[in-house]
Chains A and B, each alone.
Chain A
Amino acid sequence: MGHLILLRGARDTAMNATPHLSADDAASFIDGTLSDDARAAIERHLAECDSCREEVAISTRLLATVPASPRRGVPWRLVLPLAAGILVAVMLVRPGGRPTATPTERGGASDGSTIVLIAPAPDAPLVAGRTRLVWRALDDSVLYRVVIKDASGAELWRGETSDTVLAVPPGVHLTPGKQYVMRVDGQRTDGSSVSSTEVSVRASQ
């Protein structure tokens, strides 16, 4: 364990009569899984070593504040936009005929290689405070980012969520009638990322 002192340059505030705690030591102390002797030895070190004590205190707090897992299934905020999409699809079906347009599912394949955008519909105007982007969840994504750029490619706004829906907030300044590009990026649990194709939308007049 002594080698940790050499490697951890910033952990030099300690009184180093004993070596700093290994990750195993710190975690076992937090979990309360040590023998009495081992616990007493660590307590003695922590009483003197600010660096290790802070690590234990901060890690304890982090463990107590891990966000709860999201519920499985369709997030409730998805229900409204999806219901609206179904309504639009129904209205576009002529009696006895094929739909003239499908409002949903563009921006990529559904095999996980890209993110599939479900909303907004292709011809829907972009309205700050009203437009919602909805996409199909990746199996193993942890975070999504929505980016809106203007025609020159300059980023206008970005938002993040672990959900699969995000509204464009009212504060985003859009020039009426101007064309914008939107994209959703997803961060996978393995650290890789995946994106939707860029979708062109026009700000409402």
Chain B
Amino acid sequence: MISATGDAASGLTPRAGAASSRETRVARTSHVPLAETDDGHPVIELPPSLARLLDAPSASDADAAWHAFVAQHSRIVLHVCRSVWPAHDEQMDAYAQILDHLRADDHRRLREFARAPRCRVSTWLVVVSRRVCLDLYRQRYGRPTSEEGREQRRARRRLQDLVAEELELHEPATTEREEADAALRHEELHDALQRALTDLASRDLLMLKLRFVDDLSAQEIARLLAFPSPFHVYRRLNVLLAQLRGTLLRLGVESAAP
């Protein structure tokens, strides 16, 4: 079983302090209703069903609270199971496994999450459930799921190929000679694009990958990368593509056609 919950020692994201000492103000850029402490850490209210579960005074109260919590979130967990497993029985196995995972050690993972929640419980459940599903899949079949495989195949389609398509740099060759020339120029073009891409800022590179490799919509990217609107994403994408085209022009490899 994977360790799916967060780690307080995370080097990437410091965790919030004790909730009781928080003085809150409304966060500026978040799309989740939340507040933040003076030191900038988010404060997210625990859903009542989870608070009831973790504060249950007796075993029977905890049992009832667990059922209520599960009932509230079963739809989203099942949705994840269905996205990974095609067959009903396997979906139900994965569902049961996720519940076991959450319930283990007196709901240890939920308690860790609740200690300083930094995100919505539904989002956290999607990530955790998916990890349990993928782990179960690998245990059973010793290989990635078709979902992962598909994504990995997509990722193997190099970003430079996808960007080249977007820049409409590929032109069909008509003769054998042209075909050979085109192949050569194709490689030159891709090497040049690769170099141009590595010069981009991380955030810009991530945006291109989310758009062209992962096929996320401009709206989804705007949410993830904290842009004010999808239009800002389109604008930035256009700027980046124009920059890349300009770099290729300077290098004299603006087209795969000879």
Residues of A within 8 A of B (CB): 1-4, 7-10, 13, 18-19, 21-35, 38-48, 50, 53-67, 69, 140, 142-143, 145, 160, 187, 189-191, 193
Q: List 20 A-B contacts (CB under 8 A).
A: A1-B9, A3-B3, A23-B124, A24-B5, A24-B10, A24-B118, A27-B127, A28-B42, A31-B31, A32-B30, A33-B27, A42-B13, A43-B202, A47-B209, A50-B155, A53-B213, A55-B131, A58-B130, A67-B79, A187-B92
Nearest CB on B from A69, distance (A) = 6
Q: A1-B7, A32-B30, A140-B71 are in contact. Are A23 and B210 (CB under 8 A)?
A: no
Q: Which of B27, B99, B220 contacts A64 (CB 8 A)?
A: B220
Main secondary structure of the interface of B (DSSP, over half): helix
Q: Which of B4, B9, B42, B144 contacts A10 (CB 8 A)?
A: B144
Nearest CB on A from B137, distance (A) = 9
| A24 touching B124, Cβ below 8 Å | yes
Main secondary structure of the interface of A (DSSP, over half): helix
| A59 touching B3, Cβ below 8 Å | no
| A60 touching B42, Cβ below 8 Å | no
Q: A27-B119, A39-B226 are in contact. Are A60 and B12 (CB under 8 A)?
A: no
The 7 closest A-B CB pairs, nearest first, are: A24-B6, A191-B96, A57-B214, A47-B202, A27-B119, A47-B206, A38-B13
* Interface status of B18 (Cβ within 8 A of chain A): no
Q: Which of B7, B12, B123 contacts A59 (CB 8 A)?
A: B123
* Interface status of B32 (Cβ within 8 A of chain A): yes
Which of the segments B146-154, B178-186, B187-195, B237-245 contacts the partner chain? Answer: B146-154
| A27 touching B126, Cβ below 8 Å | yes
Q: How far is the CA of A9 from the CA of B3 in the complex (A)?
A: 12
* Interface status of B80 (Cβ within 8 A of chain A): yes
| B220 touching A26, Cβ below 8 Å | no
| B14 touching A43, Cβ below 8 Å | no
* Interface status of B34 (Cβ within 8 A of chain A): yes
Q: Which of B71, B83, B226 contacts A32 (CB 8 A)?
A: B226
Q: How far is the CA of A117 from the CA of B124 in the complex (A)?
A: 38
Q: How far is the CA of A189 from the CA of B70 in the complex (A)?
A: 6
Beyond the given pairs A32-B224, A34-B13, A53-B210, 15 more chain A to chain B contacts, judged by CB atoms under 8 angstroms and listed by A's residue number, are A2-B11, A3-B7, A18-B12, A21-B12, A23-B127, A30-B224, A32-B32, A35-B42, A38-B13, A47-B202, A47-B203, A63-B123, A67-B79, A189-B70, A193-B92
| A28 touching B119, Cβ below 8 Å | yes
Taking CB atoms, residues of chain B closer than 8 Å to A193 are 92
| A56 touching B9, Cβ below 8 Å | no
Taking CB atoms, residues of chain A closer than 8 Å to B234 are none
Nearest CB on B from A15, distance (A) = 12
Q: How far is the CA of A18 from the CA of B202 in the complex (A)?
A: 14
| A142 touching B13, Cβ below 8 Å | no
* Interface status of B95 (Cβ within 8 A of chain A): yes
The size bracket of the interface on B is 35 or more
Q: A1-B9, A38-B14 are in contact. Are A13 and B88 (CB under 8 A)?
A: no
* Interface status of B196 (Cβ within 8 A of chain A): no
Q: Which of B27, B126, B138 contacts A62 (CB 8 A)?
A: B126
* Interface status of B104 (Cβ within 8 A of chain A): no
B residues 214-235 touching A (CB-CB < 8 Å): 214, 216, 220, 223-226
Q: Which of B3, B113, B126, B209 has the most CB of A within 10 A?
A: B126
Taking CB atoms, residues of chain B closer than 8 Å to A42 are 12-13
Q: A32-B32, A32-B224, A142-B78 are in contact. Are A1 and B152 (CB under 8 A)?
A: no
B residues 16-33 touching A (CB-CB < 8 Å): 27, 29-32
| A66 touching B220, Cβ below 8 Å | no
Taking CB atoms, residues of chain A closer than 8 Å to B6 are 1, 22-25
| B3 touching A4, Cβ below 8 Å | yes
| B7 touching A143, Cβ below 8 Å | no
| A59 touching B127, Cβ below 8 Å | yes
Q: How far is the CA of A42 from the CA of B206 in the complex (A)?
A: 10
* Interface status of B177 (Cβ within 8 A of chain A): no
Taking CB atoms, residues of chain B closer than 8 Å to A140 are 67, 70-71
Q: Mark B125-160, 1 if CB is under 8 A from A, else 0.
A: 011101100110010000010011001100100000
